[in-house]
């Protein structure tokens, strides 16, 4: 039998998403659990193993039909050695040799990588950035992450640590950031900060989804709110655009659904602050694969490693 | 006779440097003119042609022995088409098809590129960055320019406009920059600004060379001066280091000779402001080829285009 299925896992701070992909990386089956229901590292690894096994059992697959397992994780990863350095939003993970642990138990090849990198891979291969050579994919959420495509390949840097757009300084001095520095993009536009700002403007019960809906309904205060967030994102992107003369930028993650007000402000700021050649070149897109980008990216990761 | 000489030209705002390179890119002869002595575009092009011809005559070369001519220019260049878009510090140049103009007259293959990119190429091939895969070369002068080596090759971006480190914003708001934006690195550490700051501190007749000498002699005020300049450069580099997980950064140009105080401050700021993995990885070097980097880079440009 031809090996053609891939099991793809997207481990986030909120959800553990698991999917069975066919050879075209189409999703054939999907499962989702709350990450918090596994309250320590052992249980979470157990949850990953159970997810994989339950696909195999339920769908009556043989291990021979499965090419491998790809996993995206929300933190810095040594993808070559298969080691998770740490996960900022999931406690208890420090230098975990996840690839080896899983391969011993499930007897399938396992590949792991940072989730923002896998999202970039997916958006470049089959999403908004398809056909563009040099691309930044930005994910907006609790953290602000990113992945770079340079010359049509995922650019990792020596330590697989490239792409940290969230930690570009916006000012010489500013609010302290979780990374140890200050005034990083993430402290201005990470969810924690903008929900706080939103509550000051719209009351303590507002959610970011509601502020997005308000802006889509032309509420001036809400439009101004996203305009300011977009201005900060656009400023950080202006520096990157000047440095890399990018073809495209893809913006995904929760607040990218804020819609027009946010995207208009990002585009306007890049035109105002970046150099004209670079600003005119770069296209700004919303991520296309949305919640599935991590899963699809994990599929491409397995394919890239096993099929050359 | 084997073609093995290359004529390399480095056109700066101050000097027109011209050199004859052998097949190992060693400098066999050199000439230098003041750029300002050619007071319009036609005369400057005439000066370039005369420089080339005088080498050929004086050294009794045949055109058959010359592989080609490489030229570095201080501004944005379409290297594929051989067109100079404009030169910020030399008036009268706008969309000049320099490659075609010269090739018609001198009957030799001509290749042109931006000078900061050629410096990066030279420092990577035979200078401080030799052996490092992902490198930023920064040139500090009237303007603040840069060239990026990614995966051991010069990274140009789609419009050959990548590398504009001088136009990374350091603050959301700040002094107006020549590029049309504000608060760019260049407005804080370009020669115009720092000479003004130096004069406030050391009197109206001080030169930057003297402030460098004072710092080398442990003058506290001068050391603090370079410490602040280095802090601003280091902050911009921190963002780049987080984004690209670089192996090395090479710093060249006039004020890079300020020495220890400047380099210590750059290194300290990167350790303080960049993420730990990226900060620990990146090595900071002074440019090795100094005034010859542009010439050597122009030699590599010819070699890359003609010998694959």
Report yes or no: A286 and A252 within 8 Å, Cβ to Cβ: yes
pLDDT confidence of A3, banded at 50, 70, 90? low
User: pLDDT digit string (tens) for B161-170?
Assistant: 999 999 999 9
* pLDDT of the residue at B153: 95
* pLDDT of the residue at A4: 86
* pLDDT of the residue at B207: 93
* pLDDT of the residue at B308: 61
- Please, what is the average pLDDT of chain B? 93
Q: Give A162-203 as a DSSP string.
A: TT-GGGSBSSSS-SB-TTS-BSBHHHHHSHHHHHHHHHHHH-
Domain residues for the domain of A95 are: 5-118+292-306
Sign of the alpha-carbon torsion through B282, B288, B291, B292: negative
Residues A177 and A275 in one domain: yes
Q: In Å, what is the CA distance from A125 to each residue of A80, A120, A136?
A: 21, 8, 13
* pLDDT of the residue at B83: 96
In a domain, B236, yes or no: yes
Name the nearest CA neighbour of B185 among B275, B269, B90, B284: B269
The total domain count for chain B is 2
In a domain, B122, yes or no: no
* pLDDT of the residue at A13: 79
Residues with Cβ within 8 Å of residue B32, at least 6 apart in sequence? B15, B16, B17, B18
Burial class (CB within 10 angstroms; exposed 0-12, middle 13-18, buried 19+) of B74: buried
List of chain B residues whose C-beta atoms are within 8 Å of the C-beta of residue A156: 245
- Is B162 in Cβ contact with A243 (below 8 Å)? yes
- Is A172 in Cβ contact with B170 (below 8 Å)? yes
Q: How many beta-carbon contacts under 8 Å exist across A and B? A: 142
List of chain A residues whose C-beta atoms are within 8 Å of the C-beta of residue B158: 133-134, 245-247, 281
Q: Kindly report the backbone phi and psi dihedral angles of residue B136, in degrees, each rounded to the nearest multiple of 5, phi listed first.
A: -110, 130
Q: Give B192-206 as a DSSP string.
A: HHHHHHHHHHH-TT-
* pLDDT of the residue at B307: 79
Residues B176 and B300 in one domain: no
E strand or H helix that includes residue A275:
none
Residues B165 and B220 in one domain: yes
Q: In Å, what is the CA distance from B293 to each residue of B18, B262, B297?
A: 12, 21, 6
Residues B163 and B226 in one domain: yes
- Is B134 in Cβ contact with A157 (below 8 Å)? yes
Residues A275 and A219 in one domain: yes
pLDDT confidence of B202, banded at 50, 70, 90? very high
Residues B150 and B91 in one domain: no
In a domain, B121, yes or no: no
Strand-pair partners of A212: none
In a domain, A232, yes or no: yes
Looking at CA atoms only, how far is residue A240 from chain B in angstroms? 7
pLDDT confidence of A141, banded at 50, 70, 90? confident
User: pLDDT digit string (tens) for A88-97?
Assistant: 878 889 999 9
* pLDDT of the residue at B151: 97
Report yes or no: B88 and B143 within 8 Å, Cβ to Cβ: yes
Report yes or no: B221 and B202 within 8 Å, Cβ to Cβ: yes
Name the nearest CA neighbour of A44 among A122, A116, A96, A110: A96
Q: Which of A158, A163, A275 sits opposite B134 (nearest CB)?
A: A158
Report yes or no: B295 and B21 within 8 Å, Cβ to Cβ: yes
- Is A278 in Cβ contact with B157 (below 8 Å)? yes
* pLDDT of the residue at B257: 76
Q: Does residue A274 carry a pLDDT above 90?
A: yes
Q: Does residue A191 carry a pLDDT above 80?
A: yes
Q: Report, as an integer, the average pLDDT of A143-165.
A: 95
Looking at CA atoms only, how far is residue A89 from chain B in angstroms? 17
In a domain, B149, yes or no: yes
CA–CA distance, A122 with A118 (Å, rounded to integer)? 6
Q: Which of B158, B164, B245 sits opposite A247 (nearest CB)?
A: B158
CA–CA distance, A25 with A302 (Å, rounded to integer)? 11
In a domain, A126, yes or no: no
* pLDDT of the residue at B178: 87
User: pLDDT digit string (tens) for B139-187?
Assistant: 998 889 999 999 999 999 999 999 999 999 999 999 999 889 999 999 9
CATH number of residue A72's parent domain: 3.30.420.40
Report yes or no: A265 and A226 within 8 Å, Cβ to Cβ: yes
* pLDDT of the residue at A14: 81
Q: Does residue A1 carry a pLDDT above 70?
A: no
Query: Of the ranges A104-108, A246-250, B54-58, which one carries the lowest mean pLDDT score?
Result: B54-58
Q: Does residue B50 carry a pLDDT above 60?
A: yes
Residues A177 and A237 in one domain: yes
User: pLDDT digit string (tens) for A23-57?
Assistant: 999 999 999 998 888 889 999 999 999 999 999 99
CA–CA distance, B192 with B199 (Å, rounded to integer)? 11
CA–CA distance, A120 with A110 (Å, rounded to integer)? 20
Residues B110 and B139 in one domain: no
Q: Which residue of B has its CA nearest to A269?
A: B181
In a domain, A124, yes or no: no
Query: Of the ranges A275-289, B10-24, B237-251, which one carries the lowest mean pLDDT score?
Result: B10-24
pLDDT confidence of B2, banded at 50, 70, 90? low
Strands B248-252 and B283-286 turn out to be parallel
Report yes or no: B20 and B304 within 8 Å, Cβ to Cβ: no
Residues B135 and B107 in one domain: no
The gap from C-alpha B213 to its chain's centroid, in whole angstroms, comes to 23
Report yes or no: A10 and A74 within 8 Å, Cβ to Cβ: no
Residues B208 and B221 in one domain: yes
Residues A135 and A277 in one domain: yes
- Is B244 in Cβ contact with A158 (below 8 Å)? no
* pLDDT of the residue at A308: 61
* pLDDT of the residue at A288: 94
How much of chain B, in percent, has pLDDT values that exceed 90?
Answer: 82
List of chain A residues whose C-beta atoms are within 8 Å of the C-beta of residue B146: 243
Residues A194 and A268 in one domain: yes
User: pLDDT digit string (tens) for A252-266?
Assistant: 987 877 888 999 999
- Is B160 in Cβ contact with A245 (below 8 Å)? yes
Sheet-wide strand order for A283-286: A153-155, A144-150, A135-140, A248-252, A283-286
Report yes or no: B69 and B109 within 8 Å, Cβ to Cβ: yes
How many CB atoms within 10 Å of residue A62? 10
CA–CA distance, B296 with B293 (Å, rounded to integer)? 5
């Amino acid at each position: 039998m031809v090996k053609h299925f891939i099991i793809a896992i997207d481990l986030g701070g909120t959800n553990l998403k698991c999917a069975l992909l066919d050879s075209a990386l189409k999703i054939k089956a999907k499962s989702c659990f709350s990450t918090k229901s596994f309250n320590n590292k052992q249980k979470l690894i157990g949850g990953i193993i159970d997810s994989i096994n339950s696909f195999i059992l339920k769908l009556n697959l043989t291990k021979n039909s499965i090419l491998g397992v790809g996993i995206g994780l929300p933190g810095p990863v040594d993808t070559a050695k298969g080691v998770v350095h740490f996960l900022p939003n999931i406690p208890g993970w420090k230098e975990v040799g996840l690839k080896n642990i899983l391969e011993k138990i499930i007897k399938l090849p396992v590949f792991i990588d940072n989730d923002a990198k896998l999202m970039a891979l997916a958006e470049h291969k089959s999403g908004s950035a398809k056909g563009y050579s040099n691309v930044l994919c930005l994910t907006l959420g609790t953290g602000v992450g990113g992945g770079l495509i340079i010359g049509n390949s995922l650019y990792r840097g020596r330590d697989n640590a490239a792409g940290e757009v969230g930690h570009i300084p916006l000012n010489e001095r500013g609010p302290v950031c979780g990374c140890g520095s200050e005034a990083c993009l993430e402290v201005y536009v990470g969810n924690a900060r903008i929900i706080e700002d939103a509550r000051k403007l719209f009351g303590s019960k507002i959610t970011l989804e509601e502020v997005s809906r308000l802006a889509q309904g032309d509420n001036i205060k809400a439009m101004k709110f996203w305009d300011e967030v977009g201005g900060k994102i656009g400023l950080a992107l202006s520096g990157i655009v000047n440095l890399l003369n990018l073809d495209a930028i893809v913006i995904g993650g929760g607040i990218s659904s804020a819609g027009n007000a946010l995207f208009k402000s990002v585009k306007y700021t890049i035109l105002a602050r970046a150099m004209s050649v670079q600003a005119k070149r770069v296209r700004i897109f919303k991520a296309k694969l949305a919640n599935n980008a991590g899963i699809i990216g994990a599929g491409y990761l397995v394919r890239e490693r096993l099929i050359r």
